[in-house]
């Protein structure tokens, strides 16, 4: 038996690409033949997989299909529906994207439109409780049965932070007088806010900028906002963010840091942060929340969509993403040692739930079920 994977794009650095690579690595380590087939592949990767048109399945093979936006690989997945493991990573509602990337918005509409065609897949996996519940509401009655947790690579992230490139980033942004996460002091004199995620309207970086403006002007002028993520797919939204930062007089205080790789020191931004603030209005999960917890960074997040399941009991969830709500919650988190201790004590268990051991145990149980 071979277990291959099919995905629109094979590129490390995003949640789906990282999960696809983690599955392939684990399967191969157990002696199972496995390859990733994709329409778009990152040829800089040491193992970018194969073109999806080269996929061939033998009678006892299985195919893991990672579903998101519509793509050229969708018909191939439907062709093998009788031995398909359908993996749902959620689809961003197109309303967030129209006006910023109409082509991508159309692909998300099509991706949601194709969901009905996969109801008869013999195996359905979801990568979060939120995604499982969404599938269940759409008639995938077994969707809650198997939740294959995302594997969050905190080991690689911490190695990135500890690399020469990561240390340079930390040194560049660590503010004088700042107290690093995990230290007992409750109220650092200087504070770095952090959010990590591609620049996209559903992630509401604009709401974070407005909340930070409230915090910086009314609570702590010795503060900085670091927004780490690529604006490649929604350049118009990045321009809006740049204009908002300029109009609020936050030049040099609110930083659009781009999207460095692990080798380029990505982890250094986490090492420099004092609080992670999330205002997203749609997430299937939100891996950076778990990454932040692995550094002991206090988390404040708008309790909406998959963010709730990423945070669990390891961070503070608020009822809206208004500027005052997020800013005052961040201030409470940073100024109250008891509140920090309450959430930090719960963060290691959250990180462990998405670590390598839990991921491999869940995957192995599914592989054994398929083999039987």
CATH superfamily of 154-353: Glycogen Phosphorylase B; (3.40.50.2000)
Give the mean pLDDT of 347-358: 96
136 vs 243 pLDDT, higher one: 243
Q: Which strands form 191-196's sheet, in the order they lie side by side?
A: 254-256, 223-228, 191-196, 275-278, 299-302, 316-318
CA 103 to chain centre: 22
Give this prediction's pTM. Answer: 0.93
User: Which residues is 215 bridged to in the sheet?
Assistant: none
**Nearest one of 320, 321, 330 to 205, comparing CA atoms:** 321
> Over the stretch 137-173, which tens digit does the pLDDT of each residue have?
988 877 667 899 999 999 999 999 999 999 999 999 9
Q: 3-151+355-371 belongs to which CATH class? A: alpha beta
Predicted pLDDT of residue 187: 43
User: Which residues is 223 bridged to in the sheet?
Assistant: 191
Q: Is the pLDDT of residue 179 over 90?
A: no
Angle of helix 164-173 versus helix 154-162 axis, rounded to 10: 70
In Å, what is the CA distance from 284 to each residue of 147, 182, 213, 220? 13, 28, 28, 33
Q: Is the pLDDT of residue 293 over 70?
A: yes
- Angle among Cα 97, 102, 104 to the nearest 5 degrees reads 75
The Cα–Cα gap between 169 and 270 comes to 10
Give the mean pLDDT of 302-318: 97
What three-state secondary structure class fits 65?
Answer: strand
Q: Which residue is it, tokens 């990590």?
A: 196
Binning pLDDT at 50, 70 and 90, where does residue 77 land? Answer: very high
User: Which residues is 190 bridged to in the sheet?
Assistant: 178
Q: Where are the domains of the chain?
A: 3-151+355-371, 154-353
Predicted pLDDT of residue 176: 57
3-151+355-371 and 154-353 in the same fold? yes
The Cα–Cα gap between 289 and 328 comes to 19
Binning pLDDT at 50, 70 and 90, where does residue 68 land? Answer: confident
Predicted pLDDT of residue 186: 39
CB 138, CB 115: distance < 8 Å: yes
Predicted pLDDT of residue 225: 98
Q: 243: buried, middle or exposed (CB in 10 Å: 19+, 13-18, 0-12)?
A: exposed
């Amino acid at each position: 038996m071979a277990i291959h994977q099919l995905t629109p794009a094979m590129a490390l650095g995003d949640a789906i690409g990282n999960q696809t690579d983690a599955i392939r690595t684990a399967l191969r380590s157990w002696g199972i033949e496995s390859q990733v087939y994709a329409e778009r592949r990152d040829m800089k990767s040491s193992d970018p997989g194969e073109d999806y048109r080269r996929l061939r399945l033998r009678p006892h093979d299985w195919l893991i299909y990672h579903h998101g936006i519509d793509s050229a690989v969708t018909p191939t997945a439907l062709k093998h529906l009788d031995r398909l493991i359908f993996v749902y990573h959620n689809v961003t509602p197109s309303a967030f994207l129209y006006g910023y990337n109409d082509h991508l918005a159309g692909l998300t509409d099509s991706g949601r439109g194709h969901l009905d065609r996969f109801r008869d897949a013999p195996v359905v996996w979801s990568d979060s409780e939120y995604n499982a519940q969404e599938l269940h509401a759409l008639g995938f009655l077994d969707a809650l049965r198997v939740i294959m947790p995302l594997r969050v690579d905190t080991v690689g992230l911490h190695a990135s932070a500890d690399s020469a490139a990561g240390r340079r980033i930390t040194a560049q942004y660590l503010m004088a007088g700042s107290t690093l996460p995990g230290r007992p002091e409750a109220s650092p004199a200087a504070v770095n806010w952090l959010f990590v995620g591609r620049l996209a309207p559903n992630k509401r970086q604009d709401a974070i900028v407005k909340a930070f403006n409230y915090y910086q002007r009314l609570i702590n002028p010795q503060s900085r906002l670091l927004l780490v993520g690529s604006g490649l797919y929604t350049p118009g939204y990045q321009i809006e963010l740049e204009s908002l930062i300029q109009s609020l007089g936050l030049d040099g205080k609110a930083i659009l840091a781009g999207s460095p790789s692990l080798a380029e020191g990505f982890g250094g931004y986490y090492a420099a942060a004092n609080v992670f603030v999330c205002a997203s209005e749609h997430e299937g999960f939100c891996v950076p929340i778990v990454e932040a917890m692995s550094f002991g960074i206090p988390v404040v997040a708008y309790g909406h969509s998959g963010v709730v399941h990423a945070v669990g009991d390891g961070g503070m969830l608020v009822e809206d993403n208004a500027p005052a709500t997020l800013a005052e919650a961040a201030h409470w988190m940073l100024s109250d040692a008891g509140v920090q201790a309450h959430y930090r004590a719960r963060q290691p268990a959250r990180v462990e739930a998405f670590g390598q051991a839990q991921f491999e145990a869940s995957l192995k149980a599914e592989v054994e079920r398929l083999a039987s």
